[in-house]
Amino acid sequence: MVKKSVYAIASLFLVTASPVFSSVIGITEYSSFISASEFGSTSLQHTGVGPGIDDYTGAGLDVVFTNSLGADNIGSVSWQITNSTGSVLNDVSFFGFLDAQIDEATNTFFNETASAAGFTLGSGSGDSQPDSFEIDEPGYLFGDIFTNLLNGSLDNTNALLGIEDDVSLALGFDVGTLLSDESILASFEISEIDNGGLYQYDAASDYGFYFLGVVSIIDDEIEIPNPSTLFLMSIGFLAIGGVKAGKHKRMGTKVC
């Protein structure tokens, strides 16, 4: 009886002394970009999470950003951008950008990898799926992903293939012509379940997440659902295609 009692106490101690730790996703920046012939050579940017940049409003675009991320940053966000310039916008492209880290406080932000192995590009104007992508260091050191976003053209490459570093992800969508009072409706999802998107992984934490988005053109009178519902609904919506290019450079530093 004594041995059993001691064993039971020891077992209880081992269980209570081994808490379960869940990984933490931290978001440095969650932004969208839009390019059009009428906006010149540099894309406009709107930051939903992060630095607070809004180039859209001053250019005649009405923007509504909805954040439906959970406390763990799993979930969806959406942008509704309405063309209120009074003119048609041509050669429009839209982009979503995510700079996120997994367990940065415990194992840094520059030890992660990413993959596009399960990701499939859309067919251009025939669907709402991404038409381009990029995985890269976010532009503080050597990556050109932020430059390409401002240029309005992603390079469809994984610059961090087999490399551990600071990971950022971007998706691009061909939109084409955006009539006056029409809206771009975009939803992006961070998911622990494979949604067919780009995959970011932290080996030290043995944890990763998927990043995917959908973009559609809608009439401004349509009532907008919440981002999670929108993400599912948008799979069936259609968009119209086009691409734009230019040049710019990001400035910034991160301390390792």
What is the per-residue pLDDT for 225? 52
Q: What is the pLDDT of residue 200?
A: 97
The residues near 46 (Cβ < 8 Å, ≥ 6 apart) are: 31, 32, 33, 34, 53, 54, 55, 56, 63, 65, 79, 81
Instruction: Average the pLDDT over 226-255 and give the result.
Output: 38
Element (H, E) at 228: helix 227-233
Q: What letter represents residue 24's amino acid?
A: V
CA distance 170 to 139: 12
Phi, psi at 140, each rounded to 5°: -80, -25
Arithmetic mean of pLDDT over the chain: 82
What does the pLDDT average to over 154-176? 96
User: What is the mean predicted confidence (pLDDT) over 69-84?
Assistant: 97
CA distance 208 to 174: 28
- Is-above-0.95 flag for pTM? no
Of 35-44, 124-133, 150-159, 185-194, least confident by mean pLDDT is: 124-133
Q: Please state the domain extents for the chain.
A: 27-236
